[in-house]
Amino acid sequence: MANSIQSVRGFGDVLPVDTPVWQFVEDRLRATLERYGYEEIRLPLLEKTELFSRSIGEVTDIVEKEMYTFEDRNGESLSLRPEGTAGCVRAGIQHGLLHNRQPRLWYAGSMFRHERPQKGRYRQFNQVGVEVFGLPGPDIDAEVILLAARMLRDIGLEDIRLELNTLGTPEARAAYREALVAYLRGYEDRLDDDSRRRLATNPLRILDTKDPDTRALLADAPALADWIDDDSRAHFRELCAMLDRAGVSYTVNPQLVRGLDYYGRTVFEWVTDRLGAQGTVCAGGRYDGLVEQIGGRPTPAIGFALGIERLVALLQDAGAAPAAPAPDVYLVVAGEAAGREALIIAEELRDALPGLRVMTHCGGGGFKSQFRRADRAGARFAVILGEEEAARGEVGLKDLRSGGEQRTLPRAELVTTLQELDMGTAPGTTI
Ligand code: HAM
C-alpha cells in the first residue's frame, strides 16, 4: 500500500458526524440575516495581494506573516483571503453597489491565515460576515450589534459577553498613538519582544498584549479614551444609549483595539471564557475610511464576522449539537430481483411523500446483516421485500423501535400506511 496522504496542517475536514451541527448553525444564521433584510453576496477566495495590504494594513500580523501569498503563472501576487471585509468592499466598488445605495450584505465562507493552529484556531476557518455601507450614524451600529446578538441567541448561545469600545477618528488615533509611543519608549527595555517590535510598527496592538509586565506598564500609559474626539464620543454615547434601551448588556473595554487597521470609532467583540485562549466568537466594527482607501468614494461602513468553528465548538461542548437526521424507512431485500425492485419502491415513496427519508440497502447480504445496518442507520421502519413478496405484489413492514411483529401489506397500500403512521408528513425524525 502506498503511504497515505494527510491533510495540510490547520486545514480540517468536517466529518459526517459533525455536519449536522454545522448545517444547523449555517441555517439558523442565514434565517436570522434574512429576517433583518440583509442580502447575500458571494465573493472569491483569491484576491490580489495589494487589496489586503492596502486594507488590513501593511504592518498587521495578518498581512505581515499570516497570508497565503503566491505568484500565479502570470507573475501576479495573489493571496487567499484572510477575511471577508476587503473583498466585500472591493466587490461593492467594482459593481457600483455602494453608489447612492446603502447595501446591507452578508457572506459565508472559508478564510485562510497561517497562524499557529490550536483549539479554536485553524489555518482554514469559516466566517459568516456582515457589511453595511453608506450609513454614518450610531443607529446602524446598534442594529448590527442587535443582529449579531440575535444570531448568537438563535443558535442557542445566550451567555456570551459583549465588549465595546470606540477608537475615535483616524486623527484622534494618530495623536494618541504618538502619546503612547512617547510613553512606552521610556520603558522599551521592559517590554516583551512582540510589543517592542510593535512600538515601531503598530503600537496600538500593544494594548492587546497578554504579557503581564507589559500590562503593568500599560496601567499608567496614556488612555485612548482621553484622546477620543468629541464627535466620536457623542456617537459612542448614543450607541450605548440605544443598546441600553434595547436591553443588550455589554461592557466598555477601553483596551479593545482589534487587529486590523481599518477600524475607526465603534469596535466590538463577543467573548467567552469557555473556549480557552481563542474566546472571541464574533468581532467587528466601523471602518469609515476603507472604501476610499480601496479606490471608492468616501463611504461609511460597519460590519462584523462570526467564527463558525468556535460557535460549533461551543454547541458541542455544551452537548447541544443536533444529531444527524435518521432515515424513516430502510428497505431490506432478499435476492437480486427484489433488490432491483426495491430501488423502484424507494423512488415511489420519495415521489409520494416528499418529507420521507428513505434509504435503500444496496450491496446484497443476508437479512440479519441488513437489519443490523438499518438499526445502525437509526431507521424507524424497515420495509421488507423478499422474492415471494415481490412476486405477490406485497411488502413487509416492521417498526424497528417498538420491536413489534412484522406485518405484510399490499405494495399499493404502503404509502397510505406510512401516512397513517405519520411518516413523511413532518420533517424527518432525528436520532
Ligand atoms: P477577525 O477578528 O479577524 O475580524 O475575525 C472574526 C472572527 O473570525 C473571530 O472573532 C473568530 O471568531 C474568527 N477567526 C479569526 N481567525 C480565526 C482562526 N484562525 N481560526 C478560527 N476562527 C478564526 C475579521 O475578520 C473582520 N473582517 C470582521 C469584520 C467584518 N469587521 C468588519 N466587518
Mean pLDDT by 10 residues, the chain (431 residues): 94 96 98 98 98 88 92 97 98 97 98 96 98 98 98 95 95 91 93 90 86 91 93 97 98 88 94 92 96 96 98 94 92 89 94 96 90 94 91 93 89 95 65 39
Our mutation pick for probing the ligand 1 site, out of 25, 83, 131, 265, counting the most ligand atoms within 8 A of Cβ, is 83
Q: Looking at ligand 1, which residue's alpha carbon is closest to its atom 22?
A: 307
Residue 131 Cβ contacting ligand 1 at under 6 Å: yes
pLDDT score at 427: 52
pLDDT at site 431: 39
**pLDDT number for residue 429:** 41
pLDDT on residue 428? 44
| Alpha carbon 45 to chain centroid, angstroms | 15
d(CA 331, CA 346): 8
Q: Which of 81, 98, 99, 100 is nearest to 42 (CA)?
A: 81
Is 270 close to ligand 1, i.e. is its CB under 6 Å away?
no
Neighbours of 10 (CB within 10 A): 17
pTM as predicted: 0.92
**Is any ligand 1 atom within 6 A of the Cβ of residue 127?**
yes
Rg of the Cα atoms in the chain: 28
**Is the distance from the beta carbon of residue 26 to the nearest atom of ligand 1 less than 6 Å?**
no
Put the strands of the sheet holding 46-48 in their side by side order.
46-48, 77-80, 69-71
The predicted-structure confidence for 132-173, as pLDDT tens digits, reads as follows: 999 999 999 999 999 999 999 999 998 899 999 999 998 898
Partners of residue 163 on adjacent β-strands: 251, 269
CA-closest residue to ligand 1 atom 17:
121
pLDDT mean across residues, the chain? 93
Residue matched to cell numbers 501569498: 69
From the CA of 280, how far away is ligand 1's center (Å)? 8
Cβ–ligand 1 contact at 60 (below 6 Å): no
Residues shown for the chain: 431
Which residue shows C-alpha cell 495540510? 8
Contact (Cβ atoms closer than 8 angstroms) between residue 329 and residue 425: no
Query: Beta 124-133 vs 104-112: how paired, if at all?
Result: antiparallel
Distance 302 CA to ligand 1 centre (A): 14
